[in-house]
Amino acid sequence: MAYPKSLLSPGEEVILDLHPHWKRIALPVLLVPVIIGLAAFAAAEMPDNSAQAPVRWAILAVAVALLFWFSLRPYLTWQFTHYVFTNRRIVHREGVIARSGRDVPLNRVNDVSFQHGVIDRLFGCGTLIVESAGERGQVAFNEVPRVEKVQRRLYELVQDEENRERQADRSATDRTPQPPDPVS
């Protein structure tokens, strides 16, 4: 699911729209056949009589609850977590029903760094840390795919924003009327 264009400001365009790395949902996806297999095996081992029907329904209910909690919930959390980088700001949104988010204007970014351990390097992801001016300081984006490339691209976006602001200041200064020269 892409980040909605209706949430962008005029003149703002999405440069990168990312979800956390797929490794976050690898285990929940692998649990689907395990849970279904165990539930099917348990139901098949029940004798074929009408007295065991409630037990089969209980097995089904437990399997559905386990699938929801260990597979569907993590998948939905992953699907509804967005790391969006535009030409004006950094947007972090997460949550399925209750949502939370944080925006950092590019002109407030002081530092962009990344970290990744051995496992993260194997999977090609890491943690992107954005330091901004203001009360809240740092924002950490966990399990960012291709974190080094994202860090480099974000640095370029910050530089572009600084250049754009500098140019806007310069053109505003050029447009201000100059006082006439005093005639002596």
Angstrom distance (rounded) from CA 38 to CA 63 = 9
The CA-atom distances, in angstroms, between 153 and each of 8, 15, 91, 123, 183 are 19, 9, 15, 20, 54
Return phi, psi of residue 71, to 5°: -125, -55
Angstrom distance (rounded) from CA 67 to CA 38 = 12
pLDDT digits (tens), the chain, 184 positions: 677 777 888 889 999 999 999 999 999 999 999 999 999 999 888 888 777 888 889 999 999 999 999 999 999 999 999 999 999 999 999 998 998 988 999 999 999 999 999 999 999 999 999 998 877 778 899 999 999 999 999 999 999 988 988 888 887 776 656 666 666 5
Task: Enter the CATH code of domain 13-174.
Answer: 2.30.29.30
Angstrom distance (rounded) from CA 139 to CA 148 = 16
Closest CA to 14 of 86, 81, 103: 86
Q: Where are the domains of the chain?
A: 13-174
Pair of tokens at residue 66: 């386990």
**pTM for this structure?**
0.79
